């Protein structure tokens, strides 16, 4: 099997698995219990908090554990919105191509009376700090801009946006779920006030994530109950997952540079090979890009058919055009970068990790052109284009 869908999820690393197993065998107590067994679990949680904080330049007090990236996004945005509303600030700035965990939270806030402004992301899939600066108003409560896009891999100028927000005294949140463990992050140096991360995107377990919140920014609880996480997130801590997340993130950060060099070399070979397919185009920023992301649109095919035929050959990939809740709407990300509907339907996302090999790339570069050809030859629309009755888009 060739797994090239690491933006969807990753395989749990050996280090994370070992740490989790040891934790479940030894530290299975409730961290809120006063006896030794519970206190050892509490220590494991605090040790993990400290190690995770260190990986992103934060302090341990600034990390709270959540059930994943979605919850971290929800809590960050809702907290900043409530904080703003208390000061009569109800304007929120974001981008058109955020993850749905962000976009749907913003939609809900809009229904509750907030004004949401989604900045356009241009053909490369990015926003500039200047765009953000021009959008900030007296009543802006929050800027939330993703660190790197999960579909097309573009990496945004977070440091510059952070500097603008700090100067204008606006809270800055970034969904760094695709970036954490893959490219360097320093919340202090980059003036980030809130940051979401998720373990299963860097070889940790699913269902666990964290929200970094700069000291002094109050958080609104989404889940009411006990006093865990200093009253900011109720519920008994998922101790093994927290410990596994710390092990995975430390490992990812320790090998970040060598992994990026290896993975980006594979990415560049794939990109070059797929670019040779006629009427195909790379999505996203060719330069400021995640090391592992390859995203293409192929005119004249359906992405879903391509995925099924790739699966037949043992290749696990994604269209990037996740058909939201069964509807056949094309990806909002591809539409945001200006791909017409017809082309947005023919997308392919390959997301690599350090376990991929040159022979994986060879196999993909053999399979994709053959399948694209096969699908095009079956398409009446494609025949019309070839004989000139309809125009090519790409």
Ligand X SMILES: *Cc1c(COP(=O)(O)O)cnc(C)c1O
> Which residues of this protein are in contact with ligand X, per CB under 6 A?
68-70, 73, 99, 101, 146, 150, 175, 177-178, 198, 200-201, 209
Q: Smallest gap, in angstroms, from Cβ of residue 201 to ligand X?
A: 6
Of 70 and 347, CB closest to ligand X: 70
Q: Residue 327's CB: how many other CB atoms inside 10 A? A: 7
Task: Look up 316 and say whether it is catalytic.
Answer: no
Q: Identify the active-site residue in 55, 323, 353, 387.
A: 323
CA-to-CA separations, 176 to 66, 134, 346, in angstroms, rounded: 14, 23, 27
Q: How many CA atoms lie within 13 A of 91 on its CB side?
A: 10
Of 131 and 293, CB closest to ligand X: 293
Q: Smallest gap, in angstroms, from Cβ of residue 178 to ligand X?
A: 5
Of 175 and 237, CB closest to ligand X: 175
Q: Smallest gap, in angstroms, from Cβ of residue 260 to ligand X?
A: 18
Q: Smallest gap, in angstroms, from Cβ of residue 179 to ligand X?
A: 9
Burial environment of residue 153 by CB neighbours within 10 A (0 to 12, 13 to 18, 19 or more): buried
Record the tokens describing residue 107, joined without a space.
């939609």
The answer to whether the CB of 263 falls within 8 A of the CB of 292 is yes
- Helix (DSSP H) and strand (DSSP E) numbers for the chain: 13, 12
Of 27 and 190, CB closest to ligand X: 190
Q: Smallest gap, in angstroms, from Cβ of residue 333 to ligand X?
A: 10
Of 198 and 318, CB closest to ligand X: 198
Q: Which residue's Cβ lies closest to ligand X?
A: 69
DSSP string for 192-234: -SEEEEEGGGTTS-TT-EEEEE-TT-----SS-SS-TGGGTS-
Beta bridge partners of 347: 297
User: Which run of H or of E encompasses 36?
Assistant: helix 36-55
Q: Smallest gap, in angstroms, from Cβ of residue 206 to ligand X?
A: 7
Q: Smallest gap, in angstroms, from Cβ of residue 194 to ligand X?
A: 14
Of 202 and 382, CB closest to ligand X: 202
Q: Smallest gap, in angstroms, from Cβ of residue 187 to ligand X?
A: 17
Q: How many CA atoms lie within 13 A of 191 on its CB side?
A: 18
Record the tokens describing residue 41, joined without a space.
């679990």
Q: Is 349 helix (H, G, I), strand (E, B) or coil?
A: strand
d(CA 211, CA 192): 12
Of 196 and 356, CB closest to ligand X: 196
Residues contacting residue 72 through CB under 8 Å, at least 6 positions apart = 66, 196, 197, 198, 209, 210, 211
Of 175 and 193, CB closest to ligand X: 175
d(CA 292, CA 259): 10
Q: Residue 258's CB: how many other CB atoms inside 10 A? A: 10
User: Which run of H or of E encompasses 14?
Assistant: helix 14-26
CA 194 to chain centre: 15
Active site (catalytic) residues: 323
């Amino acid at each position: 099997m060739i797994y090239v869908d690491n933006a969807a999820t990753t395989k749990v690393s050996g280090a994370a698995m070992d740490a989790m197993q040891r934790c479940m065998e030894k530290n299975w107590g409730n961290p809120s219990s006063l006896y030794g067994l519970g206190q050892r679990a509490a220590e494991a949680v605090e040790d993990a908090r400290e190690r995770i904080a260190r990986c992103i330049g934060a302090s341990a007090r600034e990390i709270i554990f959540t059930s994943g990236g979605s919850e971290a996004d929800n809590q960050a945005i809702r907290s900043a919105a409530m904080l703003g509303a208390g000061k009569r600030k109800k304007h929120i700035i974001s981008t058109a191509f955020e993850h749905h965990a962000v976009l749907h939270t913003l939609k809900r806030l809009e229904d509750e009376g907030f004004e949401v402004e989604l900045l356009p992301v241009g053909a490369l899939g990015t926003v500039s700090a200047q765009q953000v600066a021009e959008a900030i108003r007296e009543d802006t409560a929050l800027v939330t801009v993703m660190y790197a896009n999960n579909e097309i891999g573009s990496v945004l100028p977070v440091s510059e946006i952070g500097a603008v927000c700090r100067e204008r005294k606006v809270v800055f949140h970034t969904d760094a779920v695709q970036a954490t463990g893959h490219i360097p992050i320093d919340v202090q140096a980059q003036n980030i006030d809130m940051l979401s991360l998720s373990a299963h995107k860097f070889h940790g377990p699913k269902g666990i994530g964290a929200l970094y919140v700069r000291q002094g920014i109050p958080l609104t609880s989404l889940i009411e109950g006990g006093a865990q996480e200093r009253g900011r997130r109720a519920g008994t801590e998922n101790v093994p997952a927290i410990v596994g997340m710390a092990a995975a993130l430390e490992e990812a950060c320790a090998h970040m540079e060598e992994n990026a060099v290896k993975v980006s070399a594979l990415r560049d070979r794939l990109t070059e090979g797929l670019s040779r397919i006629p009427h195909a185009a790379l999505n996203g920023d060719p330069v400021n890009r995640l090391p592992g992301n390859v995203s293409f649109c192929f005119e004249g095919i359906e992405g879903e058919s391509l995925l099924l035929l790739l699966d037949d050959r043992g290749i696990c990939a994604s269209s990037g055009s996740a058909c939201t809740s069964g509807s056949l709407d094309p990806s909002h990300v591809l539409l945001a970068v200006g791909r017409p509907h017809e082309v947005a339907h023919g997308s392919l996302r390959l997301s690599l990790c350090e376990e991929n090999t040159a022979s994986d790339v060879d196999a993909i570069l053999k399979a994709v052109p053959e399948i694209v050809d096969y699908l095009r030859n079956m398409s009446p629309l494609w025949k019309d284009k070839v004989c000139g009755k309809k125009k090519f888009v790409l």
